[in-house]
């Protein structure tokens, strides 16, 4: 991370949130036949994005939630606000902190859904406290490993979509000031071993580092799919920017001022844009509903080395969790 990159990222947040009004989603062509999964759909950005998709005529919404009771409450709110039939929304359990939960969810989707067109992998956390979930620091498991485990497990189903299957992962301009010291390959030391070492983990920057990791993996996955002989699905990573949501509930200090925050509904428009975007968005960071170049430490030579090393470790980790899953690529 350079000072210029950090300044650009901060400036981008101020400009976007104070001077840019995102386009209101208004084109739902083809959605009436589609099935879309939204993780973390019962609250915040996931709820608002779900509301937009239903308003645009989405055929089937699968709300993937950790708390089924809260999910059912949100489902009733969505049905009331959109006047959609009750069978247009289902609530399924998914705990991104548990690999078994991710595998069970994916198995249910692969075996019971007639079709799957899009996954909006919205669920994520921001915390400065070091805790383990599975064998990783919790943010790494939820924001990164489980997200790509879900992606790999659902790739075959998404490839069957009559439309272009998509996997959408929210991102953040905070990746512009994310430090790369924990990710830089060094002396054959695994990247994950540093990230998961409580003694050296930089938890103050952990959220932005996970968003940087998502960018590296998104770019590498898109490139490998385009080079393969299998059907390409679109994977992109839109930035809703800083919003008034529950994301920072575990952060006790250092939060941006409220006047800078977008409404959750406004931020959700960026996620819906990612869901509706075409092939031009594959492997891309989307900002203000347009493709935008990510930080230089994503695209330069150092970034290229990190991208390859990180993706290689990710594949090895996914294979350990679910042997054979990398063959889906």
Catalytic residue chosen out of the listed positions 60, 99, 157, 207: 207
Helix, strand or coil, per DSSP, at residue 184: coil
**What is the structure's pLDDT at 251?**
52
The stretch 19-47 carries a mean pLDDT of 94
Q: Catalytic site residue 15?
A: no
**What is the structure's pLDDT at 278?**
95
**What is the structure's pLDDT at 3?**
77
The stretch 153-164 carries a mean pLDDT of 96
Separation between Cα atoms, residue 154 and residue 116, nearest integer Å: 9
pLDDT digits (tens, 9 = 90+) for 103-124: 999 999 999 999 999 999 999 9
- The residue assigned the tokens 């699968």 is 62
Q: Shortest CA distance to 84 belongs to which of 63, 56, 112?
A: 56
The stretch 51-73 carries a mean pLDDT of 98
**What is the structure's pLDDT at 248?**
58
The stretch 53-71 carries a mean pLDDT of 98
- The yes-or-no verdict on residue 8 having pLDDT over 90 is no
181 Cβ neighbours under 8 A, 6+ residues apart: 202
Q: What is the DSSP string of 189-252?
A: B-HHHHHT-TTT--GGGHHHHHHHHHHHHHHHHHHHHHHSSSPPPEEEEEE--SBSSGGGGB--
pLDDT class of 186 with cuts at 50, 70, 90:
confident
pLDDT class of 69 with cuts at 50, 70, 90:
very high
Catalytic residue chosen out of the listed positions 211, 216, 242, 285: 211
What are the φ and ψ backbone dihedral angles of 275, each rounded to 5 degrees? Answer: -65, -40
Task: Determine which of 8-22, 160-174, 214-228, 247-261 has the lowest per-residue pLDDT on average.
Answer: 247-261
Q: Catalytic site residue 60?
A: no
pLDDT digits (tens, 9 = 90+) for 208-230: 999 999 999 999 999 999 999 88
In the CATH scheme, what is the code of domain 3-18+31-320?
A: 3.40.50.720
The stretch 8-32 carries a mean pLDDT of 89
pLDDT digits (tens, 9 = 90+) for 236-283: 999 999 897 666 555 555 556 677 889 999 999 999 999 999 999 999
Looking from the CA of 227 toward its CB, the CA atoms found within 13 Å total 7
């Amino acid at each position: 991370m350079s000072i210029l990159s950090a300044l650009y990222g901060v400036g981008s947040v101020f400009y976007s949130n104070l001077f840019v009004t995102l386009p209101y989603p208004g084109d739902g062509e083809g959605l009436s036949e589609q099935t879309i999964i939204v993780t973390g759909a019962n609250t915040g950005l996931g709820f608002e994005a779900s509301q937009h998709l239903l308003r645009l005529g989405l055929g089937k919404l699968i709300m993937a939630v950790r708390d089924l009771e809260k999910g059912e409450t949100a489902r009733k709110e969505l049905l009331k606000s959109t006047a959609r039939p009750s069978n247009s929304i289902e609530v399924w359990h998914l705990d991104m902190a548990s690999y078994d939960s991710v595998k069970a969810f994916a198995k249910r989707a692969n075996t019971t859904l007639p079709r799957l067109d899009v996954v909006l992998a919205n669920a994520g956390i921001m915390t400065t406290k070091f805790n383990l979930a599975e064998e990783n620091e919790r943010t790494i498991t939820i924001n990164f490993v489980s997200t790509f485990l879900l992606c790999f497990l659902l790739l075959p189903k998404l490839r069957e979509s009559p439309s272009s299957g998509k996997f959408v992962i929210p991102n953040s301009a905070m990746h512009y000031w994310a430090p790369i010291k924990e990710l830089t390959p060094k002396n054959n030391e695994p990247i994950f071993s540093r990230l998961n070492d409580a003694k050296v983990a930089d938890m103050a920057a952990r959220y932005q580092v996970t968003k940087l990791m998502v960018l590296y993996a998104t770019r590498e996955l898109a490139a490998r799919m385009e080079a393969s002989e299998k059907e390409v699905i679109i994977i992109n990573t839109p930035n809703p920017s800083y919003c008034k949501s529950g994301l920072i509930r575990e952060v006790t200090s250092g939060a941006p001022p409220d006047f800078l925050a977008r409404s959750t509904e406004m931020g959700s428009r960026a996620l819906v844009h990612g869901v509706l975007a075409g092939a031009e968005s594959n492997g891309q960071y989307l900002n203000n509903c347009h493709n935008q170049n990510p930080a230089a430490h994503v695209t330069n030579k150092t970034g290229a080395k990190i991208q390859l090393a990180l993706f290689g470790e990710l594949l090895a980790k996914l294979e350990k969790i679910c042997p054979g899953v990398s063959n889906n690529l």
